[in-house]
Amino acid sequence: MTASDAATIAASTGASLFEQAIGRYQQGAPVEEVIDDFIAITQQEPRLSAGWTCLAWLQLLDNQPQAGLRSARMAVKLNPQDPQARINLSLAMLETNAKGVREHIELVQRLRVMAPELAAELDDSLEDGLARRPDWQALLKVKDWLQG
């Protein structure tokens, strides 16, 4: 097996682990269990922005704002145009009283206008967050800003 073959297998394994973890989350697995999956994914694939985005979301759902802030910053660094990563960063910043939330919200608002199908996905994500954590004040605030 060549180094290229090994890299291809590693990449496909990472995607497979990612898809399995997403599936478990969507099927209602406890957040604490799925967090461990995404920690492993981000360790195996540290440049996979979607892994960091999901990890941040789960950490925030699990009321781990500092960890969520670190993961969300990494996700945005790897993929600055990902609106979900920006939402996660905004949530983490609100929960840790960090400054600079507005620029992230404004970028997501612009992306929502340019891509209505993306807006529907983001709205579904917000609803999922509120279904799993109904008292999530930061998410309620972000939802008002984005949909208001």
Of the two residues 77 and 12, the one the predictor is more confident about is 77
C-alpha distance from residue 103 to each of 90, 111, 131 (Å): 9, 12, 27
**Whole-number CA gyration radius for the chain:** 16
User: pLDDT, tens digit, for every residue of 26-73?
Assistant: 999 999 999 999 999 999 999 999 999 999 999 999 999 999 999 999
Residue 129 belongs to domain with CATH number? 1.25.40.10
The tally of domains found in the chain comes to 1
pTM: 0.88
Domain of residue 75 covers 3-147
Query: Is pLDDT at 133 greater than 70 in this prediction?
Result: yes
Torsion, Cα of 116, 75, 131, 108 (10° steps):
-30
pLDDT at 116: 87
